[in-house]
Amino acid sequence: MAEHAVPDNSMRAVSHVPKFDGTNHREWNYEIDLCFQNLDIADVVLGLELCPDEDYDDDGDIANETEIRQ
């Protein structure tokens, strides 16, 4: 599984993307797709890479939280 370490400035990375207003789909889609690729999350967004199922320990806590957050 690929690691997806989203930088702390991820909001800044998408701040230039025009807000989708119903008339600018082509421009918005192009820009947001570039952002997803730049943040290395395109496969997650497209559903090609899925988040692992939660595994619980005996106390009922999530045992694989680190793996899920990658």
Report residue 43 as tokens: 């496969």
**Of 69, 66, 68, 5, residue with least CA distance to 39:** 5
End-to-end CA distance of the chain: 8
pLDDT of residue 26: 97
CA 34 to CA 17: how far, in whole Å?
Answer: 10
Task: Please tell me the predicted confidence (pLDDT) of residue 53.
Answer: 85
Take residue 63 and report the two structure tokens written for it: 């045992």
Confidence check: pLDDT of 2 > 80: no
Using alpha carbons only, what angle is made at residue 50 by residues 70 and 15, rounded to the nearest 5 degrees?
A: 65
pLDDT digits (tens, 9 = 90+) for 9-61: 666 777 889 999 999 999 999 999 999 998 888 998 999 988 788 889 899 98
Quote the pTM value: 0.58
